[in-house]
Amino acid sequence: MKINTQPNRWLVVLGAILIQLALGALYAWSVFTRILTDPEGIYQFTATQTAWIFSAGLATFAAVMILAGRWLARVGPRRLTVLGGLFLGLGFVLGGFFGTSFWAQFVCIGLIAGAGIGLGYVVPIAVGVKWFPDKKGMITGLAVAGFGFGATIWVKLAGSWFGGLLNYAEVFGLPPVQSVFVIYGIVFAALVLLGSVVMVNPPEDYRPAGWSPEASAKTGSLGAAGFEPGQMLKTPQFYSIWVVFLSSAIAGLMVIYCIKLFGIDALEFRGVTNAGLTTETAVAWLAIFNGLGRILWGMISDRIGRKSAIIIMSLAQGAAMLMTYHVFINTGLTTGLIVAACLIGFNYGGIFALFPAITADWFGNKEVGRNYGWVFSAYGVAGIVGPLLAGVFKDAAAGGASPIGWMTPFLIAGISCLVGGLLMMFTSRPSEEVRTGRGRGRGGVAYGNT
């Protein structure tokens, strides 16, 4: 039976949000880093070690997502989602029971849970684009919004809501951090399994009311047609998009990893007594604006075009990174930290709406699951570079009285975003002749509003 009513496709969005709420688990990592790096605590990890756990999760996420894009057509969206939820939950539960050492957390949280995120993440995007070919920017933003909003929930539950789980949780006699891992693992698996129920593709001939592939083509989208992954990887446009994604992701992931450590250093240096509470609030606001950015940047791109939106977002992120310390922190203290977190989170969230949408527009809807996996590999590289950029400079400055050492990674990340925005200005969508091979050697000539 053909499914073509509006309510059915919005159920897919609801399922996507539930899934992404759980998959955003790694974005709450900063709430654990203070305890893990306490030199008098039970773990005594270095900042670089906690960065490696976070980076391993992000890199595994991105690498497995490439494989997940290939498996999606074979096993179907629902089964792939279930598998992702089970791996995610298992990783956190095992991290709870065995996570007393760096290597145990690296394997359980970084590799096993990271693989679960990679298996599940591509499904809501690929399924959502097929149900909403008429609203790709908006729907990719909504489909991944939960990934950003979820971090707010997990940060606040662990840190302050209802007294903060890290302050009293004790499961099977485990320490608070490991107890929270076990609790979260069970909750994450349950949310993903619930959302998987509606992860189904529309019929092959599905078209939303009032939409046609011909209208889509006029706006610069290939619609259902498009590039196979092998064809896409031969275009210079893919590598340009990949580099721009990388630059923006490095900035966002560096801040997500270090905002609590950086914020406490900067605020305590200036005599702020409630630095810990302020930084937790900043983390929560970053997560909220991360989610909002995914929705609003997607909607903006539907109006002004993906390329223009990516340029503006990249340049704005570069400016925010460069201004964080000497403008936001120096002049505003606690308020400045929160403002910086909101701006950075908002722009960072935008990449998760804009890049899957431009992948679908420039390379086609049909293979978006596989193609976006390759584009998203930039996120895996950024997941290593961004957090380690902060962790290495933090460790190198150990014992220093001033938090000014943090500014080197902020400077590097900010400049990379500005370079990414400039690169996007000189990138045009590939032409139909490039896809079919008739225009080989002539490059990708732009046309329409990209």
Helix, strand, coil tally for the chain in percent (to 5): 80, 0, 20
Closest by CA position to 149, among listed 288, 273, 309, 6? 288
Which residues, 6 or more positions from 336, have their beta carbon under 8 angstroms from its beta carbon? 327, 328, 329, 330
The residue to which tokens 């933090």 are assigned? 394
| 224-238 per-position pLDDT tens digit | 457 788 888 889 999
Percent of the chain with pLDDT over 70: 85
DSSP states of 251-274: HHHHHHHHHHHHHHHHHHHTT-TT
Closest by CA position to 295, among listed 346, 361, 358? 346
**pLDDT at res. 5:** 43
| 28-61 per-position pLDDT tens digit | 887 888 888 888 888 888 878 888 898 888 889 8
Domain positions in the chain: 9-436
pLDDT higher than 80, residue 184? yes
pLDDT higher than 70, residue 62? yes
pLDDT higher than 80, residue 432? no
CATH class of 9-436: mainly alpha
Residues in the chain: 450
Tell me the C-alpha distance between 80 and 199, whole Å. 9
Neighbouring C-beta atoms of residue 242, cutoff 10 Å = 18
In this prediction, residue 82 has a pLDDT band, given cuts at 50, 70 and 90, of: very high
Q: What is the mean pLDDT of residues 263-271?
A: 74
